[in-house]
Amino acid sequence: MKAIRKFTVRAVLPEALAALEELAGNLRWSWHEPTRQLFEHIAPELWREIGTDPVALLGAVDPGRLEDLAADVDYVARVDAIRGDLRDYLEKPRWYQGLKGEKPAAIAYFSPEFGIAAALPQYSGGLGILAGDHLKSASDLGVPLIGVGLFYRAGYFSQAISPDGWQMESYPLLDPDGLPLSVLRRADGTAVQVSLALPDDRTLHARVWQAQVGRIRLLLLDTDIPQNPDDLRLVTDRLYGGGGEHRLLQELLLGIGGARAVKIWSTLSGHPEPEVFHTNEGHAGFLGLERISSLIGEGLTFQEALQVARAGTVFTTHTPVAAGIDRFERPLVRRYFETDLLPGVAVDDLLALGAENYEGGSPEVFNMAIMGLRLGQHANGVSALHGEVSRRMFSGLWPGFDAAEVPIGSITNGVHAPSWTDPALMALAQNRLGSSDTSTADWRSPEVSDQDLWSVRGQMRLQFVEDARRRLTNAWRDQNPGGLPPAWISRVFDPNVLTIGFARRVPTYKRLTLMLHDPERLRALLLDPDRPIQIVIAGKSHPADEEGKRLIQKIVQFAADPALRTRIAFLPDYNIAMAQLMYPGTDVWLNNPLRPLEACGTSGMKAALNGALNLSILDGWWPEYYDGKNGWAIPSADAAGDAGERDRIEAEALYDLIEHQVAPTFYDRNADDVPERWVGNIRHTLATLSPELSADRMVRQYVDRLYRPAGHYERLMSTNNYRAARELAAWKGKVVSKWPAVAVTHVESGGVSVVPQVGDELHLRAHVQLNGLLPTDVTVEVVYGKSYGGDELRDTQSQALVPSSPLDLADMVEAASGGSPTLFTGTVELDRSGAFGYTVRVVPRNALLISPAEMGLVAIAT
């Protein structure tokens, strides 16, 4: 018999253990091992059964056990000590508080998903896990973030696998009262609601749940409340569910409703309102429009408000392909904004922000990433390679500029080391090196022996094997209620065999089945009598992705072979809890996407933090960090004639690496049965990658490269009643109107020998028609570099030219009258041999622009 509703009844804690409620209510327990051990001690078996969730544990444990612990003086002292440690963590200054100079007092971080703990399943994959790690490291560093997302009543989905290998989805409802959440309330106890005006005189209401993630407050909006009609209660039913209009409603709520929720929370809590708004992917982009609407309410025009909003907005793109971007039909967007949703914002101004009005764009759609870039003065990709890909992919917004000049930078993702490093490795670091912080420990120290490292790696592999067997047993029982699991499941995987892991979302570009390209070759590797391998696979395909499901089915069917089923297995329902054992338990982490379609790929980072070696295509983060000692690079066959040929070449390279390099190194042992070369690579990986792959490094870079500059520009725009924003908007309007007739009319050169030599000076005179702009409104520059065939310049440098004589006010007024061209001159030293080329161009100049390409305007000599 099935329940029609479920909820959690929390235990009444004995007074001596009251601190447990405080500890369970702060998600720091998800990465603070002493707190986790404190809860595990209450009921170890129950702790594992309910998925390491303190709130669920306290709701399920026998009250008698709590009474016994309340009488245990030592345990009560531990509880009080850890609560004291939590309070110190929350209150004492940390890294951010020690920074000198300007820094934002508050930063709002918007994301459609957050992966913080298995107990709060509000994520689908890498984007959400990254967002969760961002909050955790921000908390550890003291960065004043406020997280903003949606609360999905059914999360993403639970995955099961049918007997024929087909993915099946189910959507168990979550009880927020049984989660580490509380409702945001006003001083009188009433629940806060945000409301959005919709077409047909309807209104969408949402309450606001709040979670405490260490020092960070996370606000999650939920539409499943009585004030909404049934259809609107379903807006936050599940992550990435429904069609286009449903998705649009979610993104309106996230951006607009989220911005309103932050403002209310700041007022109620007394915290400063955010100066910087970080949009993690385009899903939350509408938050910029809400800010513009608020600024218009303060008396600014749309263009003036846009300058303020842009200045303080950071936009991070995570997709390397246009197909991965949310795009809505323009009539649908128009319909939703021809309401009172955003007072003061004209629909045509809004639509222009998401318009694909560039070569190759579609005039029929509204592009959320394009809006994100137009609303964010500060933008980045999530690895160095992804930054390059993004600059090329979005170059249409900056016509006339080389891809390298497109104002999109990169900050490579990181992962939160305390969340993803196995406790056994942390204990080794503590016992041998004096610190449980594995990302800063000295792994080259002789205090940690090869035997120590190999022993811990063996423990982690055994732990994973036992967990995998439990999961497979439970999955078999779900398919065969009342049956007795077959004996072979208890032999799946061998804790002494080289273990390769592959787990991630399953879109086609990640090529889950590349390993199956030559089934007999794979079979031989799995069953090698002397150097066998075993492969664990996990991952979810989007419910609408039939091809992704077929890839899972192929793997499951291959692994069903009785001769192979103890060497290769697909584990269903991949989640944080599984991953936290899988990453440490694998020796090699496999990643074989189609380059360059992996934006970053943080799963391999998590494995590396545990001493696993990566076996990967040089995509995402791997090209930056692969050094020949921390794993292996699968050669990319980018020049292959077609996709099939590329797969064949890269699959064969994968098999060859495993057979001739990976397995021999793993199984080459000394007299103590320790693979010295392999352990040397583990030590090198931990020593060199742990600091670099840490989310602490990532968040520090966001602070230094993006948050502080964004806060600086936002303050410049906002002071003196937005004076700079008003002036910048007027200046941009003037420049845009005049620019069509700005031109380099003539360029003269001289000074070089008949046969140019290194050391010669190239003297340039450029005549520029400014069309009424002042010389101070522009930069006239020579752009020069190598020229190999055709007219394209490579490895370019630029140097500003200056007016031929200093201009006084009268000169500038005359130039601004649109009369004769203005002469600019300069000199370039030829400091290198080889093919050389140059051109002259004009770009807008203003101290409040962060890039010459920012406005997308350029006039180039022809």
Alpha-carbon distance of 585 to 12, in angstroms, equals 38
Tokens of 39: 């809860």
**pLDDT tens-place string over residues 562-577:** 999 999 999 999 999 9
Task: Report the alpha-carbon angle 662-668-672, nearest 5.
Answer: 135
> Residue holding tokens 């390298």?
404
Long-range CB pairs of 785-792 (<8 Å, 24+ gap) are 785/836, 785/837, 785/838, 786/834, 786/835, 786/836, 786/837, 787/835, 787/836, 787/837, 788/835, 791/837
Q: Helix 368-375 vs helix 302-311: angle between axes, to the nearest 10 degrees?
A: 90
Alpha-carbon distance of 809 to 329, in angstroms, equals 50
Task: State the pLDDT at residue 9.
Answer: 67
Task: State the pLDDT at residue 321.
Answer: 84
Task: State the pLDDT at residue 94.
Answer: 98
107-110 and 276-280 as β-strands: parallel, antiparallel, unpaired? parallel
> Residue holding tokens 């026998």?
62
**pLDDT tens-place string over residues 589-632:** 999 999 999 999 999 999 999 999 999 999 999 999 999 999 99
Nearest residue to 237 via CA among 252, 227, 248, 222: 222
Alpha helices in 254-329 (DSSP H): 258-269, 287-296, 302-311
Question: Which positions of the chain have pLDDT values less than 70?
Answer: 1-11, 806-818
How far the first Cα of the chain sits from its last, in Å, is 79
Task: State the pLDDT at residue 809.
Answer: 53
Nearest residue to 582 via CA among 592, 569, 595: 569
Task: State the pLDDT at residue 792.
Answer: 82
